[in-house]
Amino acid sequence: MTSERQVAAERRARALELRKAGASYEQIAQQCGYSHRGTAHRAVMQALASVADELAADVRDLELTRLDSMLMGLWRAARDGDGSAVDRVLKIMERRAKILGLDSPTDQTAHVVSPLGQVRQRGHASWGQHTA
């Protein structure tokens, strides 16, 4: 059985296809069963955002693959102590971290704990607790 979310996503995709074909929002509302043109407009905008998110993920994956390839080419030299290779490896690692959002924000006024930090904090809190 198809989930409600899947049906809604398919409906939004159909609305986007109709819009790309030149249909008005009123026509889209009628053909897709939306209550009015404003709802059809929101559906098309959501479908566009979803497509943009998928494209961004594809580009991110491509960039990470490229960085991995570069890293592989430099890794041995860096491990063997080639200072120039070490510098390049660090730059690649910094770029990967930036793409993946692994670095802490540079704004020191905000106190944000990374997911790993949250796990560590929970672990520290439970170290002194014992269950019988």
Q: Which of 25, 13, 6 is nearest to 50 (CA)?
A: 13
- State the pTM of this model: 0.57
Q: Does residue 61 lie in a domain region?
A: yes
In terms of residue numbers, what domain contains 61?
Answer: 4-102
Q: What is the pLDDT of residues 45-65, one digit of tens each?
A: 999 999 999 999 999 999 999
Q: Is residue 22 part of a domain?
A: yes
Rounded CA separation 100/102 (Å): 6
Is the dihedral angle over the CA atoms 82, 76, 73, 70 positive or is it negative?
negative
Rounded to 10 deg, the angle between the 4-20 and 25-32 helix axes is: 140
User: Closest Cα to residue 88, out of 100, 98, 99, 76?
Assistant: 76
In a domain, 57, yes or no: yes
Joined together, the tokens standing for residue 112 give 């944000």
Q: What are the tens digits of pLDDT across the range 105-129? A: 665 555 555 555 554 555 444 444 4
When divided into structural domains, the chain yields a total of 1
Task: Tell me the average pLDDT across 5-23.
Answer: 94
Is 110 domain-assigned?
no
